[in-house]
Structure 1
Amino acid sequence: MIETINQSQETAILESFIELVKSPYGDFAAIGKLSHFLNNPATLQKIVDFLSLTSQGKQAFVDRPLLGKIDLQQLHQLPKHTLGYMYAEHMIRNGLTPPPVNEIANDQFTFLGTHITETHDIWHVVTGCNTDKPGEVKLEAFYIAQLASDRLFIALLAKNLLKTAMYEVELCEQIMDGLSQGWIMGKRAKPLFGIEWNRLWETPLKDLQTSLNIS
């Protein structure tokens, strides 16, 4: 069934998209506004249904596991080859703070958004995607391959392509390499959604990548 968008929704989407294009990179308020208009309940249900095709995804929507409190300094004391150390190193090096401790998600849609948001930087580490512009594009393409019909990540990818065309066309080759590599890597990899990462901090990162078919 084809999902239709009425004129008022279309106007809101286009206006929020233009606002995001004009915003600096990493403007989460503008991203949230665009997400609100793009990913309506029907779209979110399609994503939930797709992710529930695997036993891991289906169980995640039952248990709704969240990361809980993260102590970066404690993780940074783990052996350097572990997921926990590499995640802490990524966060500290980029001046990032751990996601806030979230309450139990009361419904599938809330869990979907919370889980994707709070594990974003873990996905950066596990996929090896940098936090520069080509790296973000690479991860966005990976998300699209893993989440199927998530309109937000398609829009974020479109936004970054437009910003590249307008302001940094010299990055075109790096951006397109990142897009193609992220898409292929996301299609080949096992699903990352629903993994309880806080149980894997002491696991060697390379072992995780091998088990998830990420090279």
Structure 2
Amino acid sequence: MSMQTLENVAQQWQTSVVESIINMVNAEDGDFGAIAKLSQAVNDVSSINKMIEFLCNHPQCKRAFEERPRLGNVDLQLLHQLPENTLGYAYANHMIKNNLTPLQGNFGDSNYQFLAAHLTETHDIWHIVTGCDTNITGEIKLEAFYVAQLYASRFWLALLTKNLLKAVVFDIEVSSKYMDALTEGWLMAKQAKPLFGIQWNTLWETSLEEVRNSLTISN
């Protein structure tokens, strides 16, 4: 492939990323179609490989890529019968209260497919463990947490960028609130142990406080 061709490919990729972010700015919050297009645009092979390499420096994360833990079928009604202080109850209550169903990851044979699927199906558990709400500031806080814990996480950084651009364009008054949420999520992630690769379904009956303490997460 010629140098000119490589430059053209890079330029096309950059244009696609910018267009996807602009589309996200114009879309309603929670537009999963726009989010999927953004993910496809920003997740290049090079940065994903760097992310996987970074994660594999931690034994828990490396083992996850080898064993590929699955969350399995989640019975929210059954989990909702657990004691109210448990992780399982907190997760089920969060899902039921927000009328959500557990996200299903598309698991395949590659490390990339596992990475994407594992993050997808455990996303709402990360909400619970970090204490990040599902409102816009809670999402920004969790996005910053992802950026700090996942090296070269272009997708989560793009989502943060989208939210900051929305503040610039539509409501500058929320900028301080957004920056506070970003800072809190970033600092929380820096002091916390990795959440990636945890076999969460073995912890349903464990108290949420105990889970957070074991991960050095203060909320």
Q: TM-score, normalised by structure 1?
A: 0.94
Q: Does 1:169 align with 2:172?
A: yes
1:144-183 to 2 correspondences below 5 Å: 144-183=147-186
Long gaps (5+) in structure 1:
none
Q: Aligned Cα RMSD in Å? A: 1.3
Deviations 1:174-206 (A, max 9, x none): 211110000000000000000010111000000
Indicate how the Cα distance of structure 1 residues 134 and 103 shifts in structure 2: closer, same or farther if over 3 A, else same: closer
For residue 195 of structure 1, give the secondary structure of its aligned residue in structure 2.
coil
Distance across 1 between alignment mates of 2:206 and 2:57: 26
| Runs (4+) off by over 6 Å | none
C-alpha displacement of 1:168 = 2.7
Unaligned runs of 5+ in 2: 1-6
What is the distance in 2 between the residues matched to 1:62 and 1:205? 27
Aligned counterparts of 2:86 and 2:172: Cα–Cα separation in 1: 37
- Corresponding residue to 1:139 among 139, 142, 145: 142
CA distance 1:170–1:103, shift in 2 (3 Å): closer
Please list the CA deviations of residues 110-135 of structure 1 after superposition, one character each: whole Å capped at 9, or x if unmatched: 00000111111100000000111111
Alpha carbons 1:66, 1:104 under 8 Å: kept: no
| 1:104 to partner: Cα distance | 4.7
The CA distance in 1 between the partners of 2:80 and 2:200, in whole Å, is 16
Deviation at 1:41, TM superposition (A): 1.2
Picking from 26, 31, 34, the partner of 1:30 is: 34
The answer on whether the counterparts of 2:106 and 2:113 sit within 8 Å (CA) in structure 1 is no
Structure with larger Rg: 2
Tell which deviates more after alignment, 111-120 or 164-173: 164-173
Question: Aligned equivalents of 2:177 and 2:207: distance in 1?
Answer: 29
Aligned to 2:94: 90
Instruction: Output the CA distance in 1 between the equivalents of 2:81 and 2:166.
Output: 39
CA distance in 2 between counterparts of 1:104 and 1:131 reads 25
Equivalent residue letter for 1:40: D
The answer on 1:14 being equivalent to 2:14 is no
Moved more, 203-212 or 34-43: 34-43
- 1:6 is paired with a residue whose SS is helix
Return the match for 2:118 from 115, 120, 142: 115
Match of 2:50 in 1: 46
Structure 1, 53-62 or 169-178: larger mean CA deviation: 169-178
Query: 1:64, 1:104 within 8 Å by CA — same for their partners in 2?
Result: no
Check the 8 A contact 2:106/2:117 in 1, yes or no.
no
TM-score (norm 2): 0.93
Deviation of the 1:94 alpha carbon: 1.1
Q: How many residues align?
A: 211
Q: Report the alpha carbon displacement of residue 173 of structure 1 after superposing the two structures with TM.
A: 2.0
Q: Distance in 1 between matches of 2:170 and 2:100?
A: 26
Residue 3 (structure 2) aligns with: none
Distance 1:161 1:204 in 2: 35
